[in-house]
Every structure is written in C-alpha cells, then in structure tokens.
Amino acid sequence: MMKNFTKFLLFFFLSGLSFMTVAQNFNFTLDDDSVVVGKPGDILYGFGTITNNTGADIQIDIIRIENNLASGWLTAMCLDVCLPPGVDSTQLYLEAGKTQSYTMYFFTDSNESTSDVLILFRNVANSANSFTQRFYAESDNNFSHVASIPVKQPTVGIYPNPFTSFAIIEFDSYLLFQYDRLSLTLYNIIGKEVKRYDDLKENQVKITREFLPDGKYIYALRSESGMIKTGKFSIN
C-alpha cells in the first residue's frame, strides 16, 4: 500500500508541475501580413494578438531588440496606448483568459525606403515561453493598392457620457506623434463654441462642466491640417 501511495504522490506532483507550466504560458499570433506597404509619408502598421488561454495571470516583457530604420523614420510599440518612439521595452500584465492587441507603427518620411523591427514577447516567469516577430514596412511612390494597407480610423471616446460634473475625452495616443499640434473644441447644440483646449500634450483631456447648462454638445478633435474626429456628449 505504501508503494501505491508513493506512486500516487509522484503522479500528483508531476501533474501539478505540468499544470503550473501550462497555466503560465501565452501565445502571440500575427493578425495581418508581416510586410506593410504604403506611400512615403504614410503611417504604416502591423498588428497581432497576445492571448492568455490559461488559468493564471501572466507578466510579459515586450522588447524591441532590433530597430533597423531608414533615415527619418520612427517606430512606436502600442498596446492600449502607444509608447514614445524612443522607448524600447515595456511590460504587460495579462489576466487569465484575456487577450491584448499589439500594434507596431512605422512613421515614414517623404522618401521611398524600407525598414524593419524585431520584437520579443517573453514570459517573465518562464523565459522558454517566448515569441519573436519581425515587422517589415516599405514606402513606395508607385504604390496604389490602398485597400491592401491596414486602415486604422482614429478613435475618440468620452466617459462617462452623459456626465454631471466632469468627463474624460480620450483619443489614440499615436495621434500625438502624427501631428505637431492638436486641439479639442466643444460646441453647444447650435454650433457655438463653449470651450477649447489647445496644444494637447497627452491623449486624455479632462473636461469640466463649470457654467455649462444641461443639454447635448459636440466635441471636435483637430490638427493644424484639419478635422480628425467629432462626436456627441450630454450633460445632465
């Protein structure tokens, strides 16, 4: 009986180790072609998904280990927000069963060229669980098949909506790199400007009610070159 009990303990121990190993693994999948092409001056990007299909939370290192850029180009790593181009690493805390999108941005200049970056995704608790992905970008003046480029529309959100005292308007952080100067203007329902926030430095703007009466309003996010996005909100 003691021998059988010992076997049971060994089996339980090994099974536990196996479960622990599996429970700490994640996957990275590329969701589009690893090569993106556009015209000089375009913002190009490739994207993928980090998935934790297991029952344990995971901490993941994300490191740009190669950054082979043409002169005048920049790249930025983006999770929920975009990191500045000069930042080469970050960490992601991914809860059990959750997914996280990853986007690799290439900011091209006015000249035709090619660039590539190599990104490492590594499990902090298990370095054997890691993935590398190389992203390539090419700018070509003769490129015309616009439909084959991933097209990303700027997103702007406001929460809460409606609000009573204040709200946060948040927009894609990559817009801060794309445009030199951004402004946010608020209008009442008849189109009269009621507030304005100029030269935005962050991708979140706190708007306060102050003297504004209950009603419906419109926000407009602009750059020096024109309108980026508009939307509606309510105060009650």
Q: Can you say whether the dihedral through the CA atoms of 186, 189, 192, 194 is positive or negative?
A: negative
Average pLDDT over residues 176-189: 86
- Asked if residue 18 has pLDDT above 80, the reply is no
Query: Which residue ranges form the domains of the chain, and what is each CATH number?
Result: 26-146 (2.60.40.10), 156-235 (2.60.40.3080)
pTM given for the model: 0.58
User: Closest Cα partner for 124 from 41, 70, 76, 62?
Assistant: 62
d(CA 221, CA 158) in angstroms, rounded, equals 12
**45 vs 60 pLDDT, higher one:** 60
Both tokens of residue 110? 């006015």
d(CA 103, CA 76) in angstroms, rounded, equals 8
- Asked if residue 9 has pLDDT above 60, the reply is no
Both tokens of residue 46? 């490739």
Q: DSSP character for 54? A: S
d(CA 198, CA 222) in angstroms, rounded, equals 10
Q: Calculate what percentage of the chain has a pLDDT beyond 90.
A: 46
- Asked if residue 2 has pLDDT above 70, the reply is no
d(CA 178, CA 192) in angstroms, rounded, equals 28
- Asked if residue 12 has pLDDT above 50, the reply is no
- Asked if residue 164 has pLDDT above 90, the reply is yes
What's residue 14's pLDDT?
Answer: 47
Average pLDDT over residues 9-37: 65
Q: Which residues pair with 223 in a beta bridge?
A: 182, 226
